Structure 1
Amino acid sequence: MLNGIYLPVDLKICESKSLALKALSETFFRIAESEGIKESDLGSAIIVFGFKIDSWPYFCEVSVTSKCGSTMKVKVDSMGNKFNMVNELIYRYS
């Protein structure tokens, strides 16, 4: 996300996806800045959305690695609450 590489690499980027990805990136950096994290301190950031059929994202998982190598992972449900083991079981078996 930091360098504008989106996976899967064969993802066709139309204008609406490009605008959504830009908004996501801007929001990410705004949140990071509000937490006292400078863009220059970040080495990489990966965001994964989990979907159920015909619904909004069920969860969002963010993994951020600093330039010095420390990594932080956060996973939240569609309401922004911490995603826990119960959520995981419901997601896998529903």
Structure 2
Amino acid sequence: MAIRFALIGKRISHHRKRLKMTQLELATEIGIGERTMGKIEGGYDMRLSVLLAIADVLNVPLAELLDYEQTAPLSLSAQERQKIMYHLKAITDLLP
């Protein structure tokens, strides 16, 4: 399964704009530079900890940023999708 960072970046940008936040404001909230935030929204790879922090600040479930059902016609079974969602929930439950 390929991770589509460009699509994740677009989703982050969408939610940031929905909250009327600038890239600088979001970057400051999560402790990264504005340039790095721009790269993330542009589709560059990011650390899981950064993605989790972004989801937290934007008040968006991590699964929504990573929702593969909306990204491409993948040939994942319902059981595989459920397993992915289970792991994402477990990760978010570990956050403070």
Q: TM-score, normalised by structure 1?
A: 0.31
Q: Give the structure with the higher percent helix.
A: 2
So what's the TM-score if we normalise by structure 2? 0.31
